[in-house]
Amino acid sequence: MGFYNRVVKRTADLLISLIALIILSPTILIAAILVKLTSKGPVIFKQKRIGRGAREFTIYKFRTMYVNSEHTGSGVYSDDNDPRMTKVGKLLRKTSIDELPQLVNILKGDMSLIGPRPPLTYHPWPVSEYSEEQLRMFEVRPGITGWAQTHGRKDVEWNKRIKLNIWYVDHVSFMLDLRIFFITIGKVFTNADNENKGATVTEEEKDEAEA
């Protein structure tokens, strides 16, 4: 992947995530206390995702739903009216504070600040059903934000999302990462594209991608 991706990008990830954890520690502490005091269950939500090399890893987030509600109701899709979400959870998602524990994933080497968002092990489909071309999105570490997130975040259909991720893999550079970073900051502050509009993959679209 080149010197930037192997050395510079990883070094920057470590430094920035460490600094961010220190600066944001009051926010992280307050969020943790609010999650603990307002609903039963663990503060941190752990979930299996697909990372670099198409290998599974455990991603960390602040819990935003009631315990054992992930596979009930509207499934993997949720919006502001989802009854599975706690009141604090809605706030954490709106502000993207729920993603902050992923700074630990970066320190562990599971993730990067910038890269394709890691998909679930079962959604949009199992890793065994990805085409050879689609598997290329796993050539780099997944990120807290990425190129696909700058093109719509949660309402981008998965086949298009994967194509955007592959484009990123082919064009990864310092300037591109910097562009993604500032676009993401803008979207977080304006809460743009941060609500699921509904299913972002259908069997017909999946079949089309494999054709």
Q: How many other C-beta atoms can be found within 10 angstroms of the C-beta atom of residue 27?
A: 12
Per the CB < 8 A criterion, the answer to whether 158 and 205 are in contact is yes
Give the pLDDT of the chain (211 residues) as one tens digit per residue. 688 888 999 999 999 999 999 999 999 999 999 999 999 999 999 999 999 999 999 999 999 999 877 655 555 555 566 788 999 999 999 999 999 999 999 999 999 999 999 999 999 999 999 999 999 999 999 999 999 999 876 678 899 999 999 999 999 999 999 999 999 998 888 766 555 555 555 544 554 444 3
Q: What is the pTM of this model?
A: 0.85
Residues 211, 204: Cα–Cα separation, whole Å:
11
Please give the distance of CA 157 from its chain centroid, rounded to a whole number. 15
Q: What six digits make up the tokens of 117?
A: 């968002």
Residues 6+ apart with CB under 8 A from 208: 159
Q: What six digits make up the tokens of 193?
A: 């594209």
